[in-house]
Amino acid sequence: KVLSAPHYVLGECVEACIIFKQGKEDISEAQIKQVLAKKLSSYKIPEFVFRYKRFPLNENGKLDQRRLKVDALELLYNRRVMELAKKGITCLNISSYNSSIYIKPTVEYIRTVAKTVGCGAEQVRRLSEAAEKIMDKRKALSMDEEELVNVHLLFEDSRLILEYGEKKIGNELICREPVSEDDPELTSLADSVSIRETNGGDRIYRMEFIIDDTFNWGLAAFYTESEYRDWKENKV
């Protein structure tokens, strides 16, 4: 089944929903597009090919085109987010002062952004706790109670990455005296903790959180839960 879908550049594009015959399941999306390219104009070739074991049916046993389109559009937006995530998406870029009065609001903002982009409850907890711990530890090491800090939250491939530093040079966050990357309080929360060095020899604190099964790609695609619900109810 071929469906039309909105496209942020072209205005409209084509998507294909396919049920493969037995023994043909190994045919790739690239192979399908290669064959179609010999027969169709470029604008008629599907942007993505979605595989189905069965299509949704209505109460009369016929293809439920509305349900199929809702499902296909959700898969489409998910794929687009995943494609963008491979290149890296900045979810949050915030500057705050590294003092007690600013830490809680900053962590709450990180928690809200994590929920908004689609993280499940457990991942939101781990991410926000890790952010709070690193800011508390950096405050203890800081010579200046009112030192300005910068926090990045990046969506990259299948990971969320939290980066932290006291000063900013371009897009780089620099830690003068990073907390140890072997700190058990942080390594128990993040899937990976590291300190990366810039070309200038400065160090940036980096915590990686692998996206788990509770991640809601629908929220990631539509950015806010209310917009996602509205789309699900009214888009098609």
Q: Is residue 168 over pLDDT 80?
A: no
pLDDT tens column, 4-16? 877 766 677 888 8
pLDDT attached to residue 197? 73
pLDDT tens column, 213-234? 888 877 777 767 777 777 666 6
pLDDT above 70 covers a percentage of the chain that reads 81
pLDDT tens column, 114-125? 888 888 899 999
Greater confidence (22 vs 174) lies with 22
pLDDT tens column, 135-149? 887 777 665 556 677
Mean pLDDT of the chain: 80
CA pair distance 35, 129, nearest whole angstrom: 50
Structure tokens at 157: 């491939």
What SS3 string covers 55-69?
A: CCECCCCCECHHHHH
Structure tokens at 115: 């929920």
| pTM value surpassing 0.85 | no
